[in-house]
Structure 1
């Protein structure tokens, strides 16, 4: 506001010095003046226009000025509804298949390319007032050229490039820098932005002086898609752009060579050999987001050990959303909310994070529930359990058959035993028979006998099968396995398998040790862990101890504690070893002393085997390899959350109730604090606009397109009033439209972008959102704002066999001034990328101050020279 007031005071001085002027009656030399104002498009004149006292002129000037400022606030608020609709439209996503690390993955990417979105809808959203002002002015003046629209576009471009960048350079903390990530895109859009104004000068003063032909207006507009296309090519680093067809392929170095291609993937060559212009780039960005999320999650778990995992995951998602890159729309809407007492988005980010987390957890639970085996319909029979391990001396044991489903009626089933390694008659007694389930009965049992002998045998097994059901069907398992353990020897001890795979989220893993070929006596087995690629203390806790098998006990478990790191892609190994088993006596002392064991080792092999017959011994597998991998649930959760971690989409609304609630509520930047007096003052001051534009349809209706259309209509209506007020303000104070445009209107329409760029410069890791978008927006302003307006006007005049006359006047001079200074500004930004500074924004304090002062002085020089030329103090073109 202060720059605007200062400029107003300056213009008042100019107006006073110029009285009588072109806009005041030259014959009036008293304090009574005649105002040379014309009717506005929608706003009537403030009468009377003759014999107006000087004091009343000053009063009218202040009324128009503050009305203009209030209208700027209104157009900013409705522009944010427009930006919210654009964010919803451009945030549409699709699933793509990419090949990474030799495997195919499905990732979710946005349908809209970021560069294309920024140069089309985003640029239209932030520059809609300037563009529509130019179009509306042409229509309001019966398709004759005016000074307000083009002047606003050129003045806004100067303010954006010089003042906004000066502020962004200065607000970066000392010693920090922000560098443009997509430098090629910046250089392309910077070139187009300068060329746009060079082109204006060419068509006004060189090609067809003082006339705009139809083809010139059309070409001006067509430069807009050309800007978007070249920026997209620069973004994707395309040197060769083609579809892969049969006969071509892209090799591992990124070179298109002859070979087999399936034509299903659009691929383009990049200068860097290790990168391709495919959707795999989105995959790499997703990987970076995963790593950041996991890093934040670990840090929060260290800081909040008392919180449960779900709470920490929500906190990490909030942090990721707050830190992550945001769209131009987000920063624009956030800036306007702060300016109008609406607070920031921290509360909505928290609510969104909780909602996303709950939705992802519920989705994973649904997937798990659908993967569970479906229970057969109708009555069915099965073994429960289907595996029995019995000692040789047990005599007999019971086998259980259960009935599920419909319990009405009578059901019968046959059972019979079948040999495996165990043989009927020598190891067990063959059994067969029939089971009858009465009405409502759910289980039946039958007995199987085991034969005991004194012969040493390996463990043996046989089967029991269900057959010939009547009144029901067989369900799995319909076969039970019975393992007979020999009880005549102490047994063989080993792991059941060599390799085990477990997830890091398992916590404590119970590693099974089995006893086979005997179960007599009490035996102790030492064990210890051994590092592999997994390191003790980092991925697992080292342990060295022993387990004891009691008499007739056939299995024990070793407890291993796995340290959860919340790693997205973990694949590490460690080992567990078993030592030699030791037979213990009743006093828990070894039956064989160390001297006796040493003596046995000196005997011939055959004698040693006979001597050790019946004693426990180690089996074949005494070294287990444990592979620790990431938790699939955790991995799936990370994938889903990271794909959703886009804070920009929270600027949308789902209902009119939500919009009116936000419009009627004042908020502070800190959701835990009450709004301050300043927040309430801003809220009350802007309440009218908030309520009016709360009637705009929510963004959730029609995918944002309904809100898009209604918002741009509202912007057009408010902009039409702004054009009339600005014109009346200028003619009242004797300020030319060209000066009013470059000082007041350009400043008023750019204030929200100033705050948005400032916040983006501080919060973003790169300078693209704060600086890189400025040049693209400036080019789009000319190609759309002037291109559309002048094309329509030229066509209308051509249809009447007339010429569309545009006096170069002040516009040509302003364009020349801007182009010269803009080229110098871009050069300075490029030079700041040297190692001594490191980026376009920030840097050492002294360099920051010098750079900011230089950019700000460029703007002051531009305003001063353009104003002096407009009033004839210096010669123009």
Structure 2
């Protein structure tokens, strides 16, 4: 039968058949795409819903919006609704109002989902879409100035790290003028040195200087004229500082053995050492080694005196005893400053000291120091240099009635006796000499 129909009749019959099939098939609906992006100031987002199968009949497509990071009534208005499709209508739109607030915030999202279709309609594969609301506001409404940023949580401008608020502006503390080891009082906007540091907070803050003598003892020869004692400044050399010192008597006395007795040392800014110069008196007298002391006594706070604060100065005498005038066999009496001959010697200690009688006396003789002459010991007669012997060589004792004449050193007969005691002997009678 169809073979006998005209061609136009065949086309019409095919279309009619398709329409009849579409009329009997339920429509299917889905979203155009799974994601939409909208700027906050766009006002609305339009989400396209398509009828992808079955074009006949009227349908209602129900949708629902769900918060993700965006919040309904705050970031967008509607959270549910219905899209109506008329007969033969293939496209419709879900229109959701977007709220434009002045607050800078991260991009936010919410989800729109097709949930149901009336009249036995069906849902296709794409039934959800995520809407991203892009924020277009400046942080803190663009009010943050130089050296600041916007805290998005509070929407307040805060100073960048290392900056503080001063007179409505974010500035470096004290305008960055504080030196090393100094801090800024941000209320008064004034620099001050850290605790334990001193100085000008705009130039330099350092720990207090410490002052000490270079060593605890010094030695000087009397003939050197001066002794130099070095004072050292450590820890810091910041600022001008005065240090007071004093010299104290020991066995050496001020005015006699040394001249200076005290004074002040002035350390300039950056200066690390000074010298105390003390004049030593050279009396040209031989004397014992003597000492005196030098002491650092005061320094202005907060600077400190540390050990050694006291030094002992030893004056070594370099004068010769008795000006070196004593002969080698003599010594100097340092209490009287005169030369004396050594023990056992006689003479002029400035010219010659010698043994008594020059050591010429016989063993049985002695030296009469008053005349520097040798004399025989008591009971002996003779020349103390040549010979000392008993009177008359002791022979008289062997001759009866005789005795020794000490003047002549010869034996003579006793009184009332006469004769030659050496030959005939002494006989009673008148003595003859």
Classify the TM-score, shorter chain.
Answer: 0.3 to 0.5
Q: Relative to total residues, which structure has the larger strand share, 1 or 2?
A: 2
TM-score, L = length of structure 2:
0.32
Is the helix fraction higher in 1 or 2?
1
What is the TM-score when the length of structure 1 is the normalising length? Answer: 0.17
State the structure with bigger RCO (CA 8 A, min sep 6), 1 or 2: 1
